[in-house]
Amino acid sequence: MSGASQSSLVRRGTIASVALLVVFLAAWQWGPGLLGIPTFIIPPLSMVAEEAARMWHVSALATHTGVTAAEVLAGFLLGSLLGAFFGYILGMSPTAEVALSPYILALQIAPKVAFAPLFILWMGFTVYPKILVAILIVFFPVMVNVLTAVRTVDPDLINLARAFKATRAQIFWKIEFPASLPPLFAGLRIGSTLAVVGVVVGELVGGNLGLGYLLSFGEGQANTAMVFVAILMLTLVGGIAYLLVILVEQRVLHYLPKRALGGF
Amino acid sequence: MPNVIRLEYRNVTMRFAQGAGHLTAVEDVSFAVRDGEVVSLIGPSGCGKSTLLNIGSGLTAPSEGQAFVDGERVEGPNAHVAFMLQKDLLLPWRTVAENVMFGVEIRGVAPDERRRRAQALLENLKLAEFSGHYPHQLSGGMRQRVALARTLAVDPSVLLLDEPFSAVDAQTRMVLQRELAQTLKRAGKTALLITHDLLEAVTLSDRVLVMSRRPGRIIDEISIDIPGRDDPLKRRQHPKVNQTIDRLMDRLDIGAIEPPSTQVPA
């Protein structure tokens, strides 16, 4: 595809995207009233905006958002580091993989969010159980992607390095590690959105801080607008996390053809 | 020193475990390649040509017999040989120059010297203006030239080439063959070339060794007494080329009906 038609495609797509947003917001604002849906079922856009402003001043919305964002960040970073670490270890040691794979599979099948009540029993109404759920849920996609990447490096590439008398460490740092980066980043993208899920479930289960807490508080008060605000803020936190991963990815994987990165 | 032996296989046999028994890929192969000589190895698919290359580069140990490079017994990867495959094996995250430096970097050559060698090779192979490009920006033929530069950068005394040009189109192949021939001549390198292309074998080599079906044995050796080993484009027009190819086809049973047994009469 030529550069000109590529940019015109992007322009048309952007216009359609913005138009869709306008239609959606208008439908949200006036649709419920026209259809006779009560505001405690679907509060219109303006009501949600007012509630957001009220929560900002009265309910410390910024603090709750900040706490959630910090938990997401901590859970994501630790979960990815652990996932990548185990992915490399298992990828390079078939024995370790055979020994550990049944347990890893069992842990992967178990719904990670179900651990939230357990972690709260162990660690109380602190930020730690939330971070732990996020770590657990981020761990697997990152680990599996790294493991698969290390396993699927072209054996001829390894032989080439061996023929040049490369040491095991050189093979890792010069071939296996860089070759694993594209799948690692694919895992990190998934992990960044899953981290938000983990943290929210933790907050829903116990504690009095974070957007998850606001969700259950709003539910208890039958304050539908508050629930909407919390959902929007969670989406924002997740979106920023995802965007940050993409930004780092584009710097690290700059050598890939542009299209392979595929925007979002 | 035209009579110094650079690469030698002595009674090499290679067996692979297969099911309960084993499969003999190569049986009692002996031959030697002298300094500056280019020898081609041809034979049917699966006759163990690539196995011989792996043994020569020290990546696999033979079941019986020994390989020698520069008079030293091959007991593992060593600095005397470098190989090049049909796949270019370029690292996508390295630029052309960095890919050329891959081998010398692993062998611990100083950064300045690495850059100097890469620069010289890229200029020789007409790749200097692409030194900062990434592999995905290059054509197949250019990528294979970068692979050749990477192989030469470690300054091996023996090059092991496993169908290096079989993945590029016919026209590019002719250009690359000429470049390889000139480079080998200029640098006085010794090479063992594995190929399926009989014309390539005849135009690029001093000698052609013919292998049998599995278990692979050397069944014929033909010296190519045609001038111009450094210019395959010119050499291919020589009348003796077709004669030699006919003889090779005959030895390989090409054109004959698929033989009933796996044994080819020696």
Digit-coded pLDDT (tens) for B206-247: 999 998 888 888 888 888 888 888 888 888 888 888 888 888
For the segment B93-100, the average pLDDT, to the nearest whole number, is 93
- Which residue of chain A has the CA closest to B77? A163
> Can you tell me the mean pLDDT for B161-185?
88
Phi, then psi, of B64 in degrees rounded to 5: -140, 160
| Structure tokens, B62 | 């033979």
The residue type at B99: N
Q: Do the Cβ atoms of B48 and B216 come closer than 8 Å?
A: yes
Residue B58, min C-alpha distance to chain A (Å): 7
- Total domain count, chain A: 2
Token pair 């504690």 is found at A207
**Does residue A104 share a domain with residue A26?**
no
Q: B154 is written with which tokens?
A: 């470690």
**Spatial contact of B30 and B11, defined as CB atoms under 8 Å apart:** yes
CB contact under 8 A, B77 and A165: yes
| In a shared domain, residues A161 and A30 | no
Answer yes or no: is pLDDT of A6 > 80: no
Helix residue ranges, H only, chain B: 49-56, 96-100, 102-106, 111-124, 140-153, 170-187, 198-204, 232-235, 239-251
Chain B: nearest CA to A184, how far in angstroms?
A: 15
For chains A and B, what is the number of CB pairs under 8 angstroms?
52
Judge if B196 and B239 occupy the same domain: yes
Q: In the numeric block, which tokens belong to residue B173? A: 């192949």
Alpha-carbon separation of residue B60 from A8, B30, B52 (angstroms): 55, 17, 9
Between CA A133 and CA B180 the distance in angstroms is 59
Report if residue B148 sits inside a domain. yes
The rounded mean pLDDT for chain B is: 87
B79: nearest CB among A161, A165, A178: A165
- Mean predicted confidence (pLDDT) in B112-131: 89
**Where residue A4 falls among pLDDT bands split at 50, 70, 90?**
low
Among A156, A157, A159, A160, the strongest candidate for a mutation testing the B interface, having the largest count of B CBs within 10 A, is: A160
The interface predicted TM-score (ipTM) is 0.84
Q: Same domain for B136 and B228?
A: no
User: Residues B230, B182: contact at Cβ < 8 Å?
Assistant: yes
**Percentage of residues in chain A having pLDDT higher than 70:** 95
Structure tokens at B169: 């189109």
Q: Is residue B174 part of a domain?
A: no
Are the CB atoms for B205 and B40 separated by under 8 Å? yes
Q: Which CATH number fits the domain that encloses residue B239?
A: 3.40.50.300
Q: How confident is the model at residue B258 (pLDDT cuts 50, 70, 90)?
A: low
DSSP state of B216: B
Residues 6+ apart with CB under 8 A from A139: A79, A82, A83, A86
Distant-in-sequence, close-in-space partners of A264: CB < 8 Å, separation ≥ 6: A242, A246
Number of domains in chain B: 2
Residues of B with CB under 8 A from a CB of A: 54, 57-59, 77-79, 81-83, 85, 87, 89, 91-94, 102-103, 105-107, 134, 136, 154
Predicted confidence at residue B255, as pLDDT, reads 63
Q: What is the DSSP letter of A115?
A: G
Work out the minimum CA distance from A236 to partner chain B, whole angstroms.
33
Whether residues A28 and A155 share a domain: the answer is no
Condensed to tens digits (0 to 9), the pLDDT of residues B135-172 reads 999 988 899 999 999 999 988 989 999 988 888 888 88
**B235 burial type by CB count under 10 A (0-12 exposed, 13-18 middle, 19+ buried):** buried
Both A17 and A146 in one domain: the answer is no
Q: Are residues A56 and A9 in the same domain?
A: no
Q: What percent of chain B has pLDDT over 70?
A: 95
Q: Which domain holds residue B96?
A: 87-155
pTM: 0.83
CA-based angle A128:A133:A139, to the nearest 5?
A: 120
Domain region containing A159: 41-261
Concatenating the DSSP letter of every residue in A49-99 gives HHHHHHHHHHS-HHHHHHHHHHHHHHHHHHHHHHHHHHHHHHHH-HHHHHH
- For residues A27 and A41, what is the distance between their CA atoms, to the nearest angstrom? 15
Same domain, A29 and A58: no
- pLDDT tens readout for residues A86-143: 999 988 888 888 888 888 888 888 888 888 889 989 998 888 999 999 999 999 999 9
Based on the fold, state whether residues B54 and B108 are members of the same structural domain: no
φ/ψ of residue B17, rounded to 5: -65, 135
Check B134 against A162: CB less than 8 A apart: no
Q: Using 50, 70 and 90 to split pLDDT, how confident is the model at B71?
A: confident
